[in-house]
Amino acid sequence: MSSNSKLLNFIEGEWRKSSAATYLEVVNPATNDVLGQVPLSPAAEVDEATKAAVKAFDGWRRTPATARIQYLFKLKNLMEDNFEELARTITMECGKTLGESRGEIRRAIENVEVACGIPLMMQGDISEDIAAGIDELMIRQPVGVCAVIAPFNFPGMIAFWFMPYALACGNTYIVKPSEKVPLTMQKVFELLEQADFPKGVVNMVNGSKEAVTAILDHPDIQAISFVGSTAVAKYVYSRGSANGKRVQAQGGAKNPIIVLPDADMEMTKKIAADSAFGCAGQRCLAASIALTVGEAHRPFTEAISEAAVSRVVGYGMDESVQMGPVINQQSMHRIEGLVQEGIDEGAKVVVDGRFPTISGYEQGSFIRPTVLENVDPRGTTAKTEIFGPVLGLIHVKSIDEAIKFLNSGQYGNMACLFTSSGAAARKFRYEAEVGNIGINVGVAAPMAFFPFSGWKESFFGTLHGQGQHAVEFFTQTKVIVERWPKEWSRQF
């Protein structure tokens, strides 16, 4: 692909050129090289994709589940065969290290594998003789055309929290990738094409706000999954639900970790550094604030600062690199500004990663790991999602004080505790008001067979992505009460 290449949409089994008036450049954040041009597709192209998905729906839902999953088995094998290419594409357009990109594609594949269990997962229930000779059944049926709107930070994985389940359940589908990182989904759709899904069963429309709003307003789209920032999640949830659709909308995060004095400091340092600085802090499950309790303060501050300074930063394509750039220059400047705000609010810079020179990548969007101490618990560093490799430290006297702080936050995506005390761990698990908990784990990412939980302003909706929650989201229940007169009369 050259810098002038215009990306295509995939509608009704074919690659179609968009009629978009505007194309955006897709940029490699490490080199600032232009990788291609992504169309901001107009609403009419969402309509084309939806019409194709509506047309394909009846045939697909009537295809037995055991036959539908054969396409997913094919897709899984194709993803395994193209694993390295998918990972390299993620690193190229998103900046994360190859190891992180491989982890992302692995989780995407795991979701395909779990969705292959759909013949069992979407089974219904039956109760005989709810009254003499009368039976009652509950069956699960697909909801129709569904769509996902994805963020930039996991170009390969996030669509897979939803799409394999939606398709396995008999729905037809539209993917709207992030316009910042559309190349990985182009590759995924090449594989979906090779897996030979019937035309119109799975479609892709590139774009941004206009395409999203067209999805939210389209009368023939029944269910929408969104992942992105809280402001857009709220918009998607309110507009989509007002239009009568099922919506699940995952938003932003501000994840605290708590370090107790009895934690294994060496292990905690490594895990906390991976959480705060892995993926350059651009994970919705990244640690962003560390609350050190009592005597944990000094040893943790020293250990995490050492980890921050020694982290190898560069182009993720180099296997020795431990952290890549942030997504673009705009984001880099935003993060630099937020660090400055924290300092202006009284935080002390322990490690300042701003304005680094990364040899050979001077044009890249780099910030090295940054650690701020004595962060104001009510200030910007403590409350705002920074989405960069910045860890703020707050010192507290007790675990109760730490839990009180985390429960006062606007978000509820993840919180972690580092300790060797089972009692402290249980108290934390019980009292923390977040959807994903880590105990001596820094990125508590649910496996594909668990729901990706999120609370408060990190999630709007009821049913989450992945596993059985996804099956419930992508099916509607139908309850049948039936009596067969002949049998009834024979019996009585």
Please tell me whether residue 178 binds ligand NAD under the rule CB under 6 A: yes
| Identity at 238, one-letter amino acid code | S
94, 169, 279, 284: the catalytic one is: 284
Pick from 209, 298, 478, 483: which binds ligand NAD (CB under 6 A)?
209
- Sign of the alpha-carbon dihedral angle for 482, 485, 486, 490: positive
Instruction: Specify the stretch interacting with ligand NAD by CB under 6 A; choose among 30-38, 227-235, 302-310, 395-403.
Output: 227-235
**Residue (151 or 364) nearer to ligand NAD, CB:** 151
Considering only the stretches 48-56, 206-214, 351-359, 475-483, report the one whose residues sit in contact with ligand NAD under the rule CB under 6 A.
206-214
Of the candidate spans 74-82, 171-179, 314-322, 360-368, the one that interacts with ligand NAD by CB under 6 A turns out to be 171-179
Cβ proximity to ligand NAD: between 296 and 448 the closer is: 448
Tell me the three state secondary structure of residue 424.
helix
The site for ligand NAD, by CB under 6 A, has a size of: 27
Burial group, residue 487, by CB count within 10 angstroms (0-12, 13-18, 19+): exposed
Cβ-contact 149, 227 below 8 angstroms: yes
Assess 97 for contact with ligand NAD (CB under 6 A): no
Contact between 247 and ligand NAD by CB under 6 A: the answer reads no
Give the one residue of 60, 152, 162, 277 binding ligand NAD; rule: CB under 6 A.
Answer: 152
Is there binding between residue 179 and ligand NAD (CB under 6 A)?
yes
State which of positions 261-300 bind ligand NAD (CB under 6 A): 284
Where does residue 310 rank: exposed (0-12), middle (13-18), buried (19+ CB within 10 A)?
exposed
Residues 446-465 that bind ligand NAD (CB under 6 A): 452, 454, 458
Separation CA 213–CA 161 (nearest Å): 22
Consecutive H or E run containing 153: none
Q: Which of positions 375-404 make contact with ligand NAD (CB under 6 A)?
A: 385, 387
184 belongs to the binding site for ligand NAD (CB under 6 A):
no
φ, ψ for residue 224 (rounded to 5)? -130, 135
User: Does 251 engage in binding with ligand NAD (CB under 6 A)?
Assistant: yes
Closer CB to ligand NAD, 187 or 395, in the complex: 187
For ligand NAD, the binding residue among 184, 250, 466, 475 (CB under 6 A) is 250
464's CB contacts (< 8 A; 6+ apart) are 248, 250, 435, 451, 452, 453, 454, 470, 473
Packed helices 83-94 and 65-81: angle between N→C axes, nearest 10 degrees: 70
Q: Which residues, including other chains, have CB under 8 Å from residue 46's CB and lie 6 or more apart?
A: 174, 176, 205, 207, 211, 214, 215, 218
253: contact with ligand NAD by CB under 6 A: yes
**Smallest distance, Å, CB 232 to ligand NAD?**
4
151 binds ligand NAD (CB under 6 A): yes
Give the separation between CA 391 and CA 370, rounded to whole angstroms: 6
- Minimum distance from residue 226 beta carbon to ligand NAD (Å): 7
Query: Which listed residue (94, 109, 232, 257) binds ligand NAD by CB under 6 A?
Result: 232
Alpha carbon distance 386, 276 (integer Å): 11
Using the structure block, give the residue that is written with the tokens 């997962």: 121
Q: Where are the beta strands (DSSP E) in 313-462?
A: 348-351, 370-373, 390-396, 411-412, 414-418, 436-439, 455-456, 459-460
Smallest separation (angstroms) from ligand NAD to the CB of 395:
26
**C-alpha separations of 97 from 29, 121, 226, 262, 399 in Å:** 12, 35, 25, 32, 35
Task: Read off the tokens for 111.
Answer: 């979701």
Note whether 51 and 21 are within 8 A (CB): no
The answer to whether 284 is a known catalytic residue is yes
Task: Check binding of 240 to ligand NAD (CB under 6 A).
Answer: no
- Find the binder of ligand NAD among 24, 53, 72, 150 (CB under 6 A): 150
252 binds ligand NAD (CB under 6 A): yes
Q: Give the catalytic positions in this structure.
A: 284
Contact positions vs ligand NAD (CB under 6 A): 149-153, 176, 178-179, 208-209, 212, 227-229, 232, 235, 250-253, 284, 385, 387, 413, 452, 454, 458
